[in-house]
Structure 1
């Protein structure tokens, strides 16, 4: 691992910014590749955004949390994981502002995204339960991490079944936009797309390691808490692919992909805690959770609940041509960051 302890502060900040730029550029590239793969594989953009696009654009954040836990920084690991989910929900409000037709949640009606939102609330509640439960372990891993991973897999199975055999359907309106489909592709084209996708994912993984190392140094040298650095700095930077892919998807008219990328990626990001728990050797990562982490999780549950209300209500227009849910998400997120910075 690159040792930056002896580097000047300016060089560390520059490396942090460079890794962030690599994440941003690669995130843009992987968005178009994933959108094309969604067409040629026939998975459907809501599911593809949740499983593969959401997971790959989260690689940098996953590496940051796992590496932070392995290095003895559980505060940063937890804050980066949950802070990333919060900021990505915030980014969905930004994507709503970019889409100038009607409220994004009105135009991108999708049962899969509703199911993903419900799954995310369940996954967010679990760490709060594990924090208060006995801190036992199985082969050095808290049972809660196994439950968290199992809950994610079961939830994704429910989402996929819901897509194949929907019992509820969103009502179509004149403003409802279905994601544009794509033509088939040859085996050679598919292979090229998968190679490109894999290379982009590898770049995101490496950048995540750099973000973790420089983030720790920034926290130590500036005196900022790891909770604040994780929830704001590293979480925002490692979440840039979600912002870029969602805004790019909105501009291409792939609205369901935009929403599915955020919500599905958020569900995947809950696995960061399971990975961090496996990497944290002094004990269970949930025992290291503080009241500030609990606040961050509670706020994220609140933001997700508000987003679900918006997806169900499907308001056409609201304040500033965005829905009421986007306005509330913006306000809640800013208030939470102020509380973390001053608390």
Structure 2
């Protein structure tokens, strides 16, 4: 069966089916993302995990499934720039979603209202994870079973980061100052459905997102083949915009539900999970370590991701009160600069 899958993967879709696939996937992802936010919020309340941790793990990992499958499809296709640009480009555009969400929450700066030590820790873990691929770019000739040795450190750092976030949730040694504008994580009244039904709903929604991710990957590769556009440009803009829609939908839904820590945790947790996908990209790209072929566009996107993550962490720490803070302005500016830079390479 895998042989048939790989053979089919070698035939790019024509342009029209690719465009249709992206549009249909976007609709499915939006509808699924809206529902899965409410389910994850109720799971967080029932388990006592907290909105920030649930957003980082449950929503962060699940809403990243379309991107994960897209990365796997790209790796099997042999397009290194497209494959690497998807997870890193996803981190960039998902961080921009926070600036957009600030427009929906007009009472105060979103990072102020959603103050959470767990979210700040997640942002710092993300910076660490994005630093690891720099080792791969500096030493692209190193290989261990076709994967760069530095790649093996990414899942280990990811697991260690989750342990730190959980420890901070259970025994916090630092807490943000609670102000009149802070929206605390207070369990809400549930729907009354059984735990089993709630879990089944979550799994079905996750599977739907994964299937949409496969279509996004095939469609994106079809666009690259039909138009001759750079895989790095398509991967960092078009396909990441579609596969990252769950983060935007869940963030806006969480803001409207006033589950702010859940929404911000989803974005940051999704970004951390996308950083983990860099290891997936290297594993599925079978031409050798992906860093050797990801090109200057991959390195540029990585640098932009580090800068945007640092701006987000600073915004979470300083917690400006009034409207869109400096991070809400700086993050979109960096993203635009990165896209322009990749298009010129």
Distance 2:256 2:189 in 1: 20
In structure 1, C-alpha distance between the alignment counterparts of 2:246 and 2:24, rounded to whole Å? 14
Asked whether the equivalents of residues 27 and 245 of structure 1 are also in contact (C-alpha less than 8 Å), the reply is: yes
Report SS of the residue matched to 1:270.
helix
Asked if structure 1 preserves the Cα contact closer than 8 Å seen for 2:114 and 2:182, the reply is yes
Displacement of 1:5 after TM fit? 4.9
The total of aligned residue pairs comes to 339
Deviation track 1:149-181 (CA, whole Å, cap 9, x = no partner) reads 101111111111111111111001111111331
In the other structure, the counterpart of 2:123 is: 117
Structure 2 CA distance, aligned partners of 1:163 and 1:80?
31
Q: What is the match of residue 153 of structure 1?
A: 159
What is aligned with 1:163? 169
1:283 aligned to 2:288?
A: yes
Equivalent residue in structure 1 for 2:185, among 179, 186, 198: 179
With 223-232 and 66-75 compared, the bigger mean Cα shift is at 66-75
Q: Give the aligned partner of residue 336 of structure 2.
A: 334
C-alpha distance after superposition, 1:218-274 (max 9, x if no partner)? 011112100000000011100000000001101110010111100111001111111
- The structure-2 alpha-carbon separation of the partners of 1:168 and 1:259, relative to structure 1 and needing over 3 Å to count, comes to same
**Residues 1:209 and 2:211 aligned together:** no
- C-alpha contact 2:14 2:226 (8 A) present in aligned 1: no
Report the TM-score when normalising by structure 2: 0.94
Render the CA deviation track for 1:71-122: whole Å, top value 9, x for unaligned: 2112111001100000000001111111011000111110001100100001
Q: Is contact 2:42–2:190 with CA below 8 Å preserved after alignment? A: no
Q: Are the structure 2 counterparts of residues 160 and 190 from structure 1 closer, same or farther at C-alpha, using a change threshold of 3 Å?
A: same
Q: CA deviation at 1:184?
A: 6.8
Counterpart mapping for 1:124-273 below 5 A: 124-133=130-139, 135-183=141-189, 189-273=194-278
CA distance in 2 between partners of 1:29 and 1:117 (Å)? 26
Moved more, 172-181 or 229-238: 172-181
RMSD: 1.8
* Local SS of the residue matching 2:237: helix
Among 39, 49, 62, which residue is 1:33 paired with?
A: 39
Partner Cα distance (1:154, 1:101) in 2: 35
Matched, 1:17 2:23: yes
Matched residues in 2 for 1:55 and 1:3: separation?
A: 25
Residues of 1 paired with 2:55 and 2:224: CA distance? 33
Larger CA deviation: 175-184 vs 281-290: 175-184
Match among 298, 307, 312 for residue 307 of structure 1: 312
Partner of residue 292 from structure 1, selected from 297, 313, 317: 297
Q: Distance in 2 between matches of 1:184 and 1:199?
A: 20
1:104 equivalenced with 2:106 (yes/no): no
The gaps in structure 1 that reach 5 residues or longer are: none
Whether the aligned pair in 2 keeps the contact of 1:40 and 1:185 (CA below 8 Å) is no
Displacement of 1:6 in angstroms is: 7.8
* Alignment partners' CA distance in 1, 2:215 and 2:331: 30
The ranges of structure 1 where at least 4 consecutive aligned residues each deviate by more than 6 angstroms after the TM superposition are none
Give the CA deviation at 1:145: 1.9
What is the CA distance between 1:136 and its match in structure 2? 3.3
Kept after mapping to 1: 8 A contact 2:132/2:151 = no
| CA deviation after TM superposition for structure 1 residue 9, in Å | 2.6
Contact 2:89 2:235 in 1 (8 A): yes
Structure 2 gaps, min length 5: none
